[in-house]
């Protein structure tokens, strides 16, 4: 490590310790050491109390931080063995000196005994690979949990061609690190899934989607390159979705495009690793003359048993004016476990009007319970002239997946919100936890302030 990086770590430690000594709205001190040695399975960790329902700060930007300092970009969350939150994110320029060599991936989890989120833990300093939070819509961090072996793991990008994997058997107190990417070229958007001591990982590399799988920590990774339909040979550089079904088998949803200049048509496809074809779920149905990213695509995936379900953003016409009132957020269900037969996507109401630009885009979440009740979350942007209804993030509900009502979660204080959101059910009844990053401070009706950073909403 360079002397510059070492001094940045020391400065960052002093800054964080001075600013975050206590309180729920600011993070507690970050432990600065990278990696470590797993201390064994902590089988006796008590559940304690779940987080209260409603809104809560997970962690916040430092008071008086420089404009280059951001805490929360690329945030990812997942439930642990108690359906309590695990959270990982990027801390950009913690020293506030405008040099991004000390960017780091950080981790916290809910501690039910202490009734608060634990002190932020540095997983690893990743350096200048994520210089600003402006790399949206990419999500360069993914956290997952394996209840069968009590293992927390975080996948993240460190170097342009390097995906790293951190794992912990003691609830995140110590992480062991390894490099898992292969080949050369720019990598992005790693997504991790764990079950039965098997690691599943996907990431994008030079226009392709790579799937990797191994059993145990010492196993050898098996590799596959995801297929693309004829004529759509480029994988769009937005986060894919990787989820395991009820039998522990993986499925992947991702976007592909025609790579020819001035002929970009984005399509959402589904693929089961181990097979050689991907099935088109939906297409933009139009040619976007600039790039498919302007179609604002994003996807979330879940299952009812072995049957895949997706929620996704995808504009189906080019946005030439603010008067275009076309839906942008959809839900679709497959009737077979292979994901080769999909029903017509159902459009969610825009929760706005024709004068509103970009009502929703990029980030989405999805939960479907055993009775077929669906909850869809989406990043909501009030970018137009008159705004939307209810505020944000977008939250759509359906009893059957055929018709939706859309509003915002609870007494939301936000007009627009939901960057890098994740959503998952925290009860058997399908009530959801929603975690996302935000740049704006808001005050709840009870006077509680939600500062810029990462916030959580737990459905009552």
pLDDT band of residue 265 (cuts 50, 70, 90) is confident
pTM for the complete prediction? 0.86
pLDDT band of residue 13 (cuts 50, 70, 90) is very low
In the predicted model, what is the mean pLDDT of the chain?
Answer: 82
Q: What is the mean pLDDT of residues 56-63?
A: 89
Query: Which residue, 407, 189, 206, is CA-closest to 299?
Result: 189
**pLDDT at site 384:** 43
pLDDT in tens, 60-86: 988 766 678 889 999 999 999 999 999
* pLDDT > 70: percent of the chain: 78
Q: What is the mean pLDDT of residues 415-435?
A: 89
């Amino acid at each position: 490590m360079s002397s510059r990086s070492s001094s940045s770590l020391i400065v960052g430690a002093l800054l964080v310790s001075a600013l975050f000594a206590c309180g729920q709205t600011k993070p507690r001190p970050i432990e600065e050491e990278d990696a470590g040695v797993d201390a064994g399975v902590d089988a006796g960790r008590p559940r304690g109390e779940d987080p209260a329902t409603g809104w809560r700060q997970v962690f916040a930007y430092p008071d008086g931080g420089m404009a280059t300092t951001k805490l929360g970009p690329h945030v990812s969350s997942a439930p642990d063995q108690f359906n309590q939150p695990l959270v990982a994110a990027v801390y950009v320029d913690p020293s506030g000196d405008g040099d991004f060599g000390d960017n780091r991936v950080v981790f916290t989890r809910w501690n039910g005994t202490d009734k608060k989120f634990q002190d932020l833990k540095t997983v690893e300093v990743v350096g200048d690979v994520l210089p600003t939070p402006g790399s949206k819509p990419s999500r360069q961090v993914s956290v997952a949990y394996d209840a069968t072996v009590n293992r927390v793991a975080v996948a993240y990008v460190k170097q342009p061609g390097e995906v790293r994997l951190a794992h912990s058997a003691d609830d995140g107190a110590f992480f062991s690190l390894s490099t898992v990417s292969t080949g050369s070229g720019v990598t992005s958007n790693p997504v991790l899934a764990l079950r039965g001591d098997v690691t599943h990982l996907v990431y994008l590399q030079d226009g392709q989607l790579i799937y990797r799988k191994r059993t145990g920590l010492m196993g050898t990774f098996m590799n596959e390159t995801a297929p693309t339909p004829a004529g759509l040979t480029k994988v769009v550089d937005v986060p894919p979705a990787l989820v395991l079904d009820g039998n522990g088998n993986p499925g992947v949803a991702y976007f592909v495009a025609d790579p020819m200049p001035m002929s970009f048509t984005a399509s959402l496809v589904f693929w089961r690793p181990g097979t050689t074809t991907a099935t088109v779920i939906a297409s933009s149905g139009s040619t976007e003359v600039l790039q498919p990213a302007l179609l604002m695509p994003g996807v979330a995936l879940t299952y009812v048993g072995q049957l895949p379900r997706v929620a996704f953003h995808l504009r189906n016409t080019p946005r030439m004016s603010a008067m275009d009132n076309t839906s942008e957020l959809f839900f679709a269900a497959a009737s077979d476990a292979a994901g080769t037969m999909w029903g017509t996507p159902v459009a969610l109401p825009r929760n706005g009007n024709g004068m509103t630009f970009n009502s929703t885009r990029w980030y989405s979440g999805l939960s479907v319970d055993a009775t077929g009740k669906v909850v869809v979350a989406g990043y909501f942007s009030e970018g137009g002239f008159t705004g939307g209804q209810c505020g944000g993030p977008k939250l759509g509900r359906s009893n059957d997946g055929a018709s939706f009502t859309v509003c915002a979660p609870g007494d939301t204080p936000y007009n627009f919100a939901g960057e890098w959101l994740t959503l998952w059910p925290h009860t058997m009844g399908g009530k959801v936890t929603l975690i996302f990053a935000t740049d704006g401070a808001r005050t709840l009706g009870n006077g509680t302030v939600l500062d810029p950073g990462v916030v959580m909403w737990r459905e009552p």
